[in-house]
Every structure is written in C-alpha cells, then in structure tokens.
Amino acid sequence: MRIALYPGTFDPITYGHLDVIERAVALFDEVVITLAKHSQKTPLFTTTERKALIEQATAHLPTISVETCDGLLVEFAEKRGAIAIIRGLRAVSDFDYEFQIALANRVLAPGVATVFLLPGEQYTYLNSSIVREVARLGGNVESFVPAHVGVALKSKFNTRTKP
C-alpha cells in the first residue's frame, strides 16, 4: 500500500489544500493529512477543531485520514509506513524553503520521498493567512473555503473583539 503524508497547519483548510489533496489521492492508496501538535505557529483553531474541519471537508474521500504528529515528521512517516510526504507549491518562492526541508528529510529518512504538487492556478494566491484576515475583517470567504469552514471562521471572529 502506497501511503503519503500531507502535513500542514490547515488553519483553516482551504480550497487550495483540497485541490492538492485531490491530486494526492489520485497518486497514493492512502493520504494521511498530518497536523503538527506543537507547531511554531499559534493557530486560530485548536488541533481538535482543525481535525474536525478537515474530516468534514474530505468526508467524500474514503482514502483520507487525519492524524496528529508530535515529533519529527519523517519519524512519523516511517512509523506510519508512508513512502512520501506531499508538499504543495504555490509559487517559486515556496520552492527554496521546501527544497531545503526535503533535502534534510532525505538525510533523516532516505526511504521517504518528498512529492511536490501544484494546486490549480486559481488557487496559487490562496493561503490560510489570507483567509483568516479576510474573515477577521468581516469579508466573504466562500470562494476560499468550504461552507462549514466559513461558518467556523465567522463564529471565531464574532466571539472576538473587532480591531
């Protein structure tokens, strides 16, 4: 069985992420969306909330699972039996950083390949930070995220003090 990990914060999951997931599903028997438990980022949504949002967004894909990782991703990949780590590239600027990480991962786990996937061109500008900012300012995010994610964003920002 060919298993791939798709790691990220997914705070929140966007149509760009889903596009990459759909592409990965076509290449691998199982895709494990992997949330880091202790990211250097401070996410808007908790790990539990992000996991639930991802599970709902990918419910139509039977070969997807969502798990958390509490250490080195490549160690989790080896433990999980994954042969690849999926990374989405939106722009050339993403490549330099991702390339360095891929090379380090290759040293740490030679049996785990890094596979770069490009989202559809309509999503190359899209990232979770943009979505959060639009939502925080009361903008419409329906073009960026599934409806249930938009509702969750609205709920988060309605409970916070406006700037």
Which residues form the catalytic set?
A: 17, 41, 90, 128
The candidate with the shortest Cα–Cα distance to 13, out of 64, 83, 77, is 64
Q: Which amino acid makes up residue 37?
A: K
Beta bridge partner(s), residue 114? 85
**Alpha-helix residue ranges (DSSP H) falling in 111-146:** 128-136
Q: How far apart are CA 15 and CA 21, in angstroms?
A: 10
Are the C-beta atoms of residues 87 and 16 closer than 8 Å to each other? no
Q: How far apart are CA 115 and CA 24, in angstroms?
A: 9
Residue with tokens 């990220």: 8
Q: Which whole-number Å values give the CA distances from 98 to 85, 103, 104, 105, 114, in the listed order?
A: 11, 9, 10, 10, 9
The candidate with the shortest Cα–Cα distance to 21, out of 39, 11, 8, is 8
